[in-house]
Structure 1
Amino acid sequence: MRPASSSELLKIVRAAERNNLALALTGTLLFDKSRFVQVLEGERSSVTKLFIRISQDSRHEDIASSTLLLSGASLTGRWR
């Protein structure tokens, strides 16, 4: 999925914020003009639930989970 404009990119960021907040997740969303990388932090079940939802969304391609890290501390701070 490649946003066509900066306003479309902002919509994606806002949707990620809403979805993360609803599941009490934090993380980071990165975009390099060709692909997104998202780091999700929170309860394992919530992260899994959102990952499955993203994976089933036809707008996304080549989805992979690269690392599962169990930690008591946030790596990304308070970004939602």
Structure 2
Amino acid sequence: MGEHDHGASEALVAVVSGRVEVRDDEGPVTLDAGTVAVMSVGERVSLRNPSDSEPAELLAVFSPPGFVEHLESWPVVDRSAGRA
């Protein structure tokens, strides 16, 4: 997921399985399954799966929940060509 912010929402992201690399203005941090990260309002982040073979699953909670509407302005990614 390319660089983005969560609008007026804070985000809590839990890695359910696999690993996820989160990059913010302080650099990248790799989160393992069972790890939780909090992203503040206005914080710009990007996420990626550092593995070519192991999928990653995330659980994300947004408060206030208006972030879902914020997603509608994001470009559509064509995943048929491979990993995005």
**Range class of TM-score, shorter chain:** 0.3 to 0.5
Q: TM-score, normalised by structure 1?
A: 0.33
From the two aligned structures, give the one with the greater strand fraction: 2
Q: TM-score, normalised by structure 2?
A: 0.31
